[in-house]
Amino acid sequence: MAREHVTLPVYMAYCAIAGALRPWNREGSRAIVTLEVQDDYYTPLYTQAARVFAAGIWRPNEWEDSHVFEWSAKSGRDEVQAEKSQRAIFLSPPEYRLTEENRLFSDAVIPMGPRTRRHAEAALRRAKLPVDESTIDLLMSEPWSRLSKAFQDRRGPLQALDRLRQTRGQNSKDADSETTESTGPTLAEMHGIGPALDWGNNLAKDLADYRAGVIGWKDVDGGVLISGPPGGGKTMFASALANTCQVPIVFGSVSRWQEAGALDEHLKAMRNSFAEAKARAPSILFIDEVDTIGNRMEADRNRGYMRGVIAGLLELLDGFERRAGVVVLGACNYPQLVDPAIRRPGRLDRHLEIAPPDAQSRLAILGFHAGLDLDGDQAEKFEFATDGFSGAEIERLVRDAKRVARRRSETLSADHIVEQLPSVTVLPEDLLHCIAVHEAGHALVGFEIGHGQIADIKISSFRMDGSSRPLGQVEIERAAPRRRTKTA
């Protein structure tokens, strides 16, 4: 086994595989063996470790990388290839349920336990690094995904450990502290986004009870579908939810999974996101663009491919007990396009619509991106001019204001923000008086004819240039319908 081709975490995974496959650890042996791995799993590392093991027991002219496979619903071609060579290692990830056919095909199905401290010690000794308890604790507590990113062929193991410790201090919460360093807003800073806000606050309380052992995972909402227009704040809501719940968030995307390539690679990328979220549980897995995954009833030339993708996602969503601690948030623009099976009970069975941000929420979004608070006329002008704006549009407005301030060598201020607002005109006092009288007339007539209770009367001090938006309105709570009679 060439040292330069095996990183420290790969060797840790190799130790687990070698221990499980000890009866076959001899050169020239022939077998098709399945390793049934537990929750502590990361596909790229374990696949590479299995290839290293296989290269050691099978002669180079008999060895191909393709002799290591991962069981999935689409493993037919892998079985043909394994049967042809009469030697292969199949990995069964935690979210996959081995079928009777899988077991019959395998010469042996061996449960493989998680990494151990002995594996970490062996990896440190092989890398000629000091074997101390703090380093072993680090290697045992970090998710496989972070270990894989830290230890690279181009980077020495000591340098990798230093980088791992540095980022751990920046990105993980102190075990002795009850607070975490926020990298964005919390739900307390978001307003006017509809029922999603109440659901998120309830989830935060449930996760706290789950961590305290008060409730089991079955009492926590493990999957929800959120929808809204592009740029409407779905991603910001997910980040705010994670900050409120004080749990890590893993970002996935249907389009990024698809970039992995063919169906097998697509499915592996999807499973890796779930595995990373599981390794960091309790956590939130945010899946963006879930409506683009398609519907199994659609008929086009890509139907077979997408059916395989949807089937793979359903398997991952169905593993409720196995993904204990992982809340899945699927985000989309068009919920009606999501396959009904994805929205069945036990999967993404709750649908929440992210409403456009109201005035208070828009001011909070501005404060987050710009670090500024508007007051008085500036706040009123901002609320009026950004009516209907999404969070992304407000972020763009702040970006433009910052650019102007930089060009002028000035510190960003509220004036720069107001300057970027759509052009509005301040209405003169006499016109405001006319609008007020007009709206008061609507209110009086509505009240006298019993149209309903007057809830609010609003007039605007501004007019947006080129807009036909009403300058005033009367909000009426309509009375309950009355049964009609001959006299009324």
Catalytic residue set: 439
Q: How many CA atoms lie within 13 A of 33 on its CB side?
A: 20
Positive or negative: CA dihedral 325, 256, 114, 80: positive
CB 13 within 8 A of CB 115: yes
Q: Going by C-beta distance under 8 Å and a sequence separation of 6 or more, which residues neighbour residue 49?
A: 10, 11, 13, 14, 16, 17
Q: Which residues pair with 88 in a beta bridge?
A: 32
User: 10 Å Cβ neighbour count for 5?
Assistant: 11
Do strands 68-70 and 88-92 pair parallel, antiparallel, or not at all (unpaired)? parallel
The DSSP code for 185 is -
Structure token digits, residue 283: 């956590």
Triad 154, 155, 161: Cα angle to 5°: 155
Q: Name the β-bridge partners of 459.
A: 472
- Pair 190, 361: CB distance under 8 Å: yes
Which residue is listed with tokens 């181009």?
154
Give the distance between the most distant pair of CA atoms in the chain: 101
- Contact present, 385 and 464 (Cβ < 8 Å): yes
Please list, in sequence order, all residues whose beta carbon lies within 8 angstroms of the beta carbon of residue 141, skipping any fewer than 6 positions away. none
Burial (CB count <10 Å: 0-12, 13-18, 19+), residue 464:
middle
The rounded distance, in Å, linking the Cα atoms of 377 and 414 is 11
Contact present, 279 and 43 (Cβ < 8 Å): no
Query: How many angstroms separate the CA atoms of 460 and 115, rounded?
Result: 65
Task: Please confirm whether the linkage preceding 422 is cis (ω < 30° from 0).
Answer: no
Contacts of 10 (CB under 8 A, 6+ apart): 45, 48, 49, 52, 151
Backbone angles phi, psi at 284, to 5 degrees: -120, 130
Give the dihedral sign, CA 238/243/247/251.
Answer: positive
Q: Write out the two tokens for 11.
A: 């060797």
